[in-house]
């Protein structure tokens, strides 16, 4: 690996590091949260599945070149965890750099695996949310 791995203790710290790296368009910090496994997977909204570090890195470099950092507010987290794997399902509220007041909502799944270096991202899968997402706290407690 050409990127330096960071030692972080919790899934929450790795997820925070991922979204922080997105906001700063820091490709090295972004790639540092991924597992060393070459079966890592990333799916951007409306795009094909990317497998492996090189494909994932190239895609994020292209995004950063076009738009710079991506301001994402992760919200409505639903987490499932066992001793070696954690799955986060969440809504990403993305603010467009053009200054538009309306945010774009993405439904994302982040899968983390416990490694000798701590928790690392194995999968990031993002899709455009169908319809309007309720952002009030009451939306998270609603049953369907």
For 91-143, what is each residue's pLDDT tens digit? 999 876 665 566 789 999 999 999 988 999 999 999 998 876 665 543 443 33
pLDDT tens per residue across span 72-103: 889 899 999 999 999 999 999 987 666 556 67
CA distances from 49 to 9, 28, 45 (A): 28, 21, 10
Q: Is 66 exposed, middle or buried (0-12, 13-18, 19+ CB in 10 A)?
A: exposed
Fold of the 11-130 domain? Nuclear Transport Factor 2; Chain: A, (3.10.450)
In the structure, how many helices (H) and strands (E) does the chain have? 4, 6
Question: What are the extents of the domains in the chain?
Answer: 11-130
Q: How many residues are listed for the chain in this entry? A: 144
- If pLDDT is split at 50, 70 and 90, which confidence band does 47 have? very high
Q: Is 23 exposed, middle or buried (0-12, 13-18, 19+ CB in 10 A)?
A: middle
Q: How far apart are CA 106 and CA 129, in angstroms?
A: 5
């Amino acid at each position: 690996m050409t990127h330096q791995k960071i030692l972080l203790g919790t899934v929450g710290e790795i997820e925070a590091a991922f979204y922080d790296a997105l906001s700063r368009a820091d490709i090295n910090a972004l790639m540092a949260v991924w597992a060393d496994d070459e079966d890592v997977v990333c799916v951007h909204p409306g795009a094909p599945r990317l497998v492996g570090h090189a494909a994932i890195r190239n895609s994020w470099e292209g995004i950063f070149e076009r738009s710079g950092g991506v301001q994402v507010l992760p919200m409505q987290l639903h987490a499932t965890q066992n001793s070696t794997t954690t799955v986060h399902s969440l809504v990403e509220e993305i603010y467009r750099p053009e200054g538009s007041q309306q945010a774009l909502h993405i439904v994302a799944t982040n899968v983390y695996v416990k490694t000798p270096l701590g928790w690392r991202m194995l999968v990031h899968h993002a899709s455009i949310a169908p319809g309007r997402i309720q952002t009030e706290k009451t939306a998270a407690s609603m049953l369907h």
